[in-house]
Copies of this chain bind each other. A is one copy, B any other.
Amino acid sequence: MDKSYSVLNQLLVDIFNDILLIEQNALKSGELSDLSITEVHAIEAIGKATERTMGEVAQDLKVTMGTLTIMVDKLVRKGYAERFRSEEDRRVVFVRLTKKGELVYKLHERFHHEMIRSIIDGLSEEEEKILISSLEKLKEFFRKKYDLILRKE
């Protein structure tokens, strides 16, 4: 019991830290060395749909619009995104990825794909179910315990 506890705890901590480190560094070395982690996150958030308003993206990223303005400024300057005003409501500004930006989005998607593949491959269907239900429990724990913080509304 107590053994399981510490093994599981250490695994979760290690994996979490690994992901943080990988995100921080995977860029620097590679072809996309002019992007920071936050910029990649922004690209991810923009990329989900074909075009989104600044407000929507800011909410997704949980940053203020002021912060997002600066982020998008940089992405535009570097050629990963473009902005244009809505014709119907000239207050709103849309942002969307350029080809170059979409490339980054797809690269990131591929990373996820590989990651999940590496887990799933080698698990039986039974084992797969157990893994999923365990992770659901973990998620449930967070939702219950930190409802106020996590509530998206």
Contact = CB atoms under 8 A, between A and B. Distances in A.
Interface of A: 1, 4-5, 7-9, 11-16, 18-19, 21-22, 25-26, 29, 62, 112-120, 122-123, 127-128, 130-132, 134-143, 145-146, 148-150
Given A123-B134, A130-B130, A142 B11 contact: no
Nearest to A146: B22
B21 A132 contact: no
A25 B134 contact: no
A135 B8 contact: yes
A25 to B, nearest CB: 5
A131 B132 contact: no
A67 to B, nearest CB: 14
Given A18-B139, A135-B11, A135-B15, A5 B116 contact: yes
A27 to B, nearest CB: 11
Given A11-B135, A12-B135, A21-B62, 9 more contacts: A4-B120, A5-B120, A11-B136, A15-B135, A15-B139, A26-B149, A29-B149, A118-B141, A122-B137
